[in-house]
Amino acid sequence: MQAIELTDGDGTWATIVPAEGGTLRRYARRTRRGVVEVLHEPGCPVLFPIAGYSHGGGRIDHYAWQGVVRPMPIHGFAMRLPWQVVERTASSVRLALAASDATRDSYPFGFRLGLTWALDGGALRGALEVTNDGKGPLPFSAGFHPYIRLPLTAGGRRDRCAIRLPACREHVARPQGIAAEGPRGPRELRATEPAAPARSFAEFDALAADIMDEASGLCVRLDADLDSRFRCLTAWSPQVDAPFYCVEPRTALQDAFTYAADGQLTVLDPGASFAARLSLELHES
């Protein structure tokens, strides 16, 4: 299926590709500086049934559940499979993905996913719903992985960009468990500071971030505190001069199956559902 183009009719656009993981490829908004493209390739993939890496049984890209070790690529398979279009309007699209032969060998659970992308007053809203369609428990972690273009304009400078977080605490995954580090408080991550390996933050008052392009006077507001099951943010950029910076709302800090005892894993009973929401909005200061 070809890409789906959305518009709110007032200078905001989005592009979604159902056949490529239901991924949001474009979110753009008209500003005084012209049309600003917020996302860098590959856009904003959806992470399921693992957000981040896994190393179950001591094997990279594997997870362990009830004593059985199975393969699972980084960030799971939802971003790699085609989704079905359920409903579409000029400014929104709803997609679906269910358990199939493509998922059962590595993930032998019954599940149904719903994914909605919508433009709303200049903002881009994403909503992920997970339903346990099976007869046993459904274990997973989930998230969104937006690649925010940084700087946001061609004339911008990476050393004039920053990520501002409300009060939170950094957490680190260690063999003995997840450990909180340092005091809890507001954070500013300069875009020229290393963020590889990824850094994880939790214990938020409000799960949000401002991705600032100070020279351009532009800010992307990421809000995952919308009646949502997300509880942490992961910051990642492979190099200090990369053309993007990722701030990812997730249900778990890292490697949820390995750190299940630390409460990182979400487990749904049969028939139960889960929902998590994301908002991205480009502002001019």
54 C-beta neighbours (distance < 10 Å), count: 28
Q: In this structure, what DSSP letter does residue 55 have?
A: B
String of DSSP letters for the chain: ---EEEE-SSSEEEEEETTTTTEEEEEEEEETTEEEE-BPTT-B-EEBS-SS--BGGG-TTEEEETTEEEE--TTBSGGGS--EEEEE-SSEEEEEEE--HHHHTT----EEEEEEEEEETTEEEEEEEEEE-SSS-EEE--EE--EEESSSSTT--GGGEEEEEEEEEEEEEETTEEEEEEEEEEEEEETTS-EEEEEEEE--SS-EEEEEETTTTEEEEEE--SS----EEEEEESSTT-SEEEEEEESSSS-TTTTGGGT--EEEPTT-EEEEEEEEEEEE-
The average confidence (pLDDT) of the chain is 94
In angstroms, how far is the first alpha carbon of the chain from the final one? Answer: 38
**pLDDT tens profile 70-94:** 999 999 999 999 999 999 999 999 9
Q: Determine the Cα–Cα distance for residues 147 and 198; give it in Å rounded to an integer.
A: 13
Average pLDDT over residues 43-55: 95
What tokens appear for 204 in the block? Answer: 């938020």
**pLDDT tens profile 227-251:** 678 889 999 999 999 999 999 999 9
Report the number of distinct structural domains present in the chain.
1
Query: 170 near 182, Cβ under 8 Å?
Result: yes
Rg over CA atoms, the chain: 18
Does residue 263 have a pLDDT over 70?
yes
3-state secondary structure of 254: coil
Residue 139: partners with Cβ closer than 8 Å, 6 or more residues away: 49, 65, 109, 257, 260, 265, 266, 267
Average pLDDT over residues 10-15: 96
Query: 93 near 6, Cβ under 8 Å?
Result: yes
Average pLDDT over residues 37-47: 98
Q: In this structure, what DSSP letter does residue 155 have?
A: T
Instruction: Label residue 1 by pLDDT band (50, 70, 90).
Output: low
Residue 63's φ and ψ, nearest 5 degrees, are -135, 155
Give the count of alpha carbons within 13 A of 276, CB side only: 21
Output the domain CATH number for residue 46. 2.70.98.10
Instruction: Label residue 261 by pLDDT band (50, 70, 90).
Output: confident
- Per the structure, the complete domain to which residue 105 belongs is given by 4-284
Instruction: Label residue 205 by pLDDT band (50, 70, 90).
Output: confident
**pLDDT tens profile 148-186:** 999 999 888 999 999 999 999 999 888 777 888 989 999
* Nearest by Cα to 46 from 71, 68, 25, 70: 25
Alpha helices per DSSP H over 8-155:
101-104
Residue 66: partners with Cβ closer than 8 Å, 6 or more residues away: none
